[in-house]
Structure 1
Amino acid sequence: MKELSKKDLFFVGLMLFCMFFGAGNLIFPPFLGQQSGKLVVLAFSGFIISAVGLPVLAVVIVAKSKGLNALASHVHPVFAIVFTILIYLSIGPFLGIPRTGSLAYQMGLAPFLSKGFGTSPLPLFIYTLIYFGITLWLSLTPTKLVDRLGKVLTPILLVLIAGVFICSLIKPIGSFAAPKGDYALFPFFKGFSEGYMTMDAIAALNFGIVIASTLKLMGVKNEKSLVSYSSKAGIIAGVFLIIIYAMLAYVGASSRGISLNAQNGGEILTAVSNFLFGDYGALVLGVIFSLACLTTAVGLVTSCSEYFATLTTKIKYKTWVVILSVSSLIFSNVGLTKILAISVPVLNAIYPMAIVLMVMFLLNNLFNGSKCVYAFGMLFTSIFSIIDSLNQALLKIDSITAVFNYIPLYSKGLGWIVPSIFGMLVGYVISVSKNKITVQNEI
């Protein structure tokens, strides 16, 4: 059995970090920092629990359960296939991957183009053609991901973000202001809900297969060692996420004086970069966003291709890489808005289901792995989350919203918690009743 050196494990953790760290991860912390102001520490504490804790937990659980499909099979084999495919499609070619290309263009190239030319389709196509060409090249050889992502691209990204943070200390942007909105009322919980909305736990369910495959290619074959090293890699990635998030939150918290009316973290970072670096600010920010988007795209293409290659022997991994890269190129240029309109509700529906599935796996020993608990917990969660997502995106029926408002935590975006707990309790009662009947019949 091969033992990984601490150095190799460290770079596997860096590879996982850069796969997690996309454009959305750049945007959330600065906005949280600006809005929470003087209460940034409380808000940030809640944020890292959900934005870092859940993804790291997902990596560990996927490793211990031997894959997402095996994890979902605790509910039912058919559910496992449908649920897993939905997750890979929504976070991959139908949303996550194309969005990285369009966001990288908007932040990395569009600011340098004239207003008329920047809004035309040609520059977007040329940029995304090169962008997904690089993504394709990096994804074709997963054996080199640790060297290319963990040892090259991630250090560059870390140095650039750290550089912005250090410059903000040398050239102070401003002081922390009073918190705004919900951050003034319940900063910890608001931070938690913002971290939850990053939805990185779903990406972690995808990336688990990449980490396992990478470790196997590095010579780790023993199942126990795979779980151990995957968990440690997740923790390393989590530590770096916390450090970078803290830097970005600080920058945002001190930025209200120069970006008072900013609507999102992207606008805040633009204002900060211009303040710190002048005419070079857009260039620095463009490189940061481009690298963050690219590394996430590679992670998603790789994980989706590895999974789809297990579904059929007729289409190999490299073919899937080409298919996903080309389709993402097309979707990032044509009809992305329509795809978002379909994919985002799907993602919002399955995210609570993914979290509940992980929680039930953690509590597995408490109910002896009862299929009833898994089935009813998932049933009640899915009914609520699907109806809520459809209502918010398409139906917009006030009476449904009015009823859901009676559910605790619904206004905070966590209304699925009570239905899921109720479903698990129902499943547990049924399971206990079945066991009693079985014992009585045996007597």
Structure 2
Amino acid sequence: MKRKLSFNQTLLVGSLLFGLYFGAGNLIFPIELGQNSGTNLYKVVLGFIISGVGLPILGVVASAISKNDSLFEMGKTVNDKFAYFFTTALYLTIGPFFAIPRTSTVAFEVGIAPNISEDKIKLFLFVFSLIFFLAVLAFALKPGKVMDNIGKILTPTFLILLSVLVIFAIIKPMGDLAKNQPTKIYQKNPLFTGILDGYNTMDALASLAFAIIIISSIRKLGVKDSNQIAKETLKSGVICLIAMSTVYISLSFMSSSSVNIMKLGNNGGRILSNISFYYLGNFGKILLAAIVIVACLKTAIGLIIACSEIFIQMYPNTLSYKAYAVVFTLISFLIANLGLQKIISLSIPVLMYLYPLAIVLIFLSLAYPIIGKNKIIFSLTILFTAIFSIFDLLKALPKNISSTNSISKIVDFAKNYLPAFELGFGWLIPAIFGIILGLLISIIKKEKIKEINL
């Protein structure tokens, strides 16, 4: 008889999955879209949940189904060069280039920025981020149980405070849900815009990197059969999906009702701080700031450790663990001083390129029972996706770059000839073509169909 997890154990793994995904940084995006999506709120939130919750859950399930113990191993299904490129690019994205600097700036925007004048923002950001990353480095160089213990207290406290805010918002709403016109980006194709907004959480990318943590946890609970591990991963994923969706819906609806009292903003950290002040006064504002700062600190430490460890595994003859930790912390500190909005805007082109590759890897891995680890299908699908995602990357570049003559011509070409390009999915049809072509070639080359079950 196959060992199965009890309900309580499934709940425990689901909670672990929630804790891995839901960081303080995730707060700002549903808060922002709640205010700015106006009458299109429902469609935008649905899109956000599809990519911000659904895809990350599928990423973990895909790793379990395809029996991959790491992102690098999954990438090797395409080839070794892709495995090195994608793993490196993904860890740099969820690490020192974007996600780690964002932890510092989110903490600053929630805890410090609302209390100082605009002309002193840059100076205070520099000082805050310097102290923040010195603390991060100190813990990352000597990883111990201190931050784990803080996390056991912090996450429940964090969720309790959010629950209090949400309950206040339900009992005593600031007003009706926003009836204002959506801002420009949410006026056309709100569902797909919401899906693209979900990319900003970076959780689908993180799911490929950290799936092994969930799989290992299930194994430690006594489940050894690989098919049963996949089933238990899916059940735990459903619990996480319900929890994260509830939080995101609550935050976005609370933010939407705040439009009646507060002016529209594009900085989720400050909007959340103002909402906390509205309901709980200075005490609530200070408590929220303290919790978010420590939560972001914990996330940053975990990411520095994870990135340093994967780099010494992939590139063993380069730097030591401590050297990587110092380098990644320094890079994160420098980028953090660009400010939250700048970091988000710079990350978008990269995410528009990496996310299609991650989505394709996830769905091909989910199809493992049908196609196995067929290199022809994986390689061709990734090749077509990688080529056509470049158009989405170019379109997402900052205006001063994307508006140049050469790039605007390329983008115009894509608009005219690539289906779904305007929606942000110009890569989708080429990816499907790659799958079909890979299947056909695999059928013709019968000797190569050892792992495909047609």
Give the structure 2 partner of residue 120 of structure 1. Answer: 123
In the TM superposition, residue 417 of structure 1 has moved relative to its aligned partner by: 1.0
User: Is 1:417 aligned to 2:428, yes or no?
Assistant: yes
Cα drift, residue 115 of structure 1: 4.9
Q: Decide whether aligned partners of structure 1 residues 292 and 386 sit closer, same or farther in structure 2, where only a CA change above 3 A counts.
A: farther
Partner of residue 246, structure 1: 249
TM-score relative to the length of structure 1:
0.82
Q: 1:183 to 1:387 in 2, by over 3 A?
A: closer
Show the counterpart of 1:207. 210
**Partner residue in 2 for 1:441:** none
**What one-letter code is carried by the residue in structure 2 that aligns with 1:28?**
F
Give the root-mean-square deviation of aligned CA atoms.
3.8
- Alignment CA distance shift 1:295-1:130 (3 Å): closer
- TM-aligned CA distance change 1:195 to 1:98, over 3 Å: closer
Q: In the alignment, which residue of structure 1 is the partner of 2:306? A: 303
The offset of 1:202, in angstroms, is 0.6
Q: Alignment partner for residue 350 of structure 2, among 317, 336, 346?
A: 346
- Quick one: structure 1 residues 293 and 135, their matched pair in 2 at CA, closer, same or farther if it must change by over 3 Å? farther
What displacement does 1:139 show?
8.3
Shift of 1:14: 3.2
Partner of 2:27: 26
The one-letter code matched in structure 2 to 1:55 is P
Aligned partners of 2:31 and 2:334: how far apart in 1?
31
In structure 2, what residue type is equivalent to 1:346?
A: V
Cross-structure match for 1:373: 377
Q: Are 2:278 and 1:275 equivalent residues in the alignment? A: yes
- Where does 1:36-435 land on structure 2 (aligned, <5 Å)? 36-37=37-38, 40-63=41-64, 64-113=67-116, 115=118, 117-120=120-123, 124-130=126-132, 133-134=135-136, 136-137=138-139, 140-141=142-143, 147-149=149-151, 151-178=152-179, 180-181=181-182, 186-212=189-215, 222=224, 224=226, 227=230, 230-280=233-283, 282-311=285-314, 320-321=324-325, 324-333=328-337, 344-367=348-371, 369-390=373-394, 392-393=396-397, 394=401, 396=403, 397-406=407-416, 407-435=418-446
Does the residue aligned with 1:177 lie in a helix, a strand or coil? coil
> Per-residue CA shift, 1:359-415, capped at 9, x if unaligned?
112224444543222111111110111344246424642221111113222112222
Supply the distance in 2 between the matched residues of 1:436 and 1:12 (Cα, whole angstroms). 41
Distance in 1 of aligned mates of 2:266 and 2:27: 14
Gaps of 5+ in 1: 439-443
Shift of 1:320: 4.8
Give the counterpart letter for 2:424 in structure 1: G
Count of aligned residue pairs for this structure pair: 436
Gaps of 5+ in 2: 450-454
Identify if the C-alpha distance between structure 1 residues 354 and 272 changes in structure 2 by more than 3 Å, giving closer, same or farther: same
TM-score by length of structure 2 reads 0.81
**What is the rounded CA distance, in whole Å, between the counterparts of 2:437 and 2:210 in structure 1?**
33
Distance 1:39 1:437, change over 3 A: closer
1:16 corresponding residue in structure 2: 17
Residues 262-297 of structure 1 show CA distances to partners (whole Å, capped at 9, x for unaligned) of 234334324423322344454244235424433432
Query: How many Å apart are 1:129 and its aligned residue?
Result: 2.5
C-alpha deviation, 1:229, in angstroms? 5.5
Q: Which residue of 1 aligns with 2:452?
A: none
